[in-house]
Amino acid sequence: MNSSWWLYILDCDGRFYTGVTTDTDRRLAEHRAGGSRSARFTRGARRIGLCYRVELEDRGEALRAEARLRKLRRAEKQLIVREQPDAPALRHRLDMA
């Protein structure tokens, strides 16, 4: 079975958290639950919202995009959240094209 991999950005009380998953709904619920399946970064947040997600080709591409996205400055991440680029546009923006 070929599952989809998603890169996502959460807004956690005004701070950005970036991750990858095969199921964004499940992963968001885990982050909001705050238990052992959530990320340490998101556990103390009072408000967690999904503000961007994009489907990528496979796990490797999703992990590479996540690593590059994490290195961006906040203003660049805000621009991605505002513009909601599709996968080809995100690849180009992250120099992965």
**CA pair distance 95, 40, nearest whole angstrom:** 29
Three-state secondary-structure class, residue 20: strand
Mean pLDDT of all residues in 6-30? 96
Q: Supply the DSSP symbol for 6.
A: E
pLDDT above 90 covers what percent of the chain?
87
Q: What pLDDT is stored for residue 52 in this prediction? A: 98
Residue 9 pLDDT greater than 60, yes or no: yes
Three-state secondary-structure class, residue 12: strand
The pLDDT mean for the chain works out to: 94
Enumerate the β-bridge partners of residue 16: 11
CA angle 19–45–62, rounded 5-degree value: 5
Q: What pLDDT is stored for residue 2 in this prediction? A: 61
Enumerate the β-bridge partners of residue 8: 19, 53
Please tell me the pTM assigned to this model: 0.92
pLDDT, tens digit (0-9, with 9 covering 90-100), for 40-78: 899 989 999 999 999 999 999 999 999 999 999 999 999
What does CATH list as the number for 5-93? 3.40.1440
Enumerate the β-bridge partners of residue 12: 15, 48
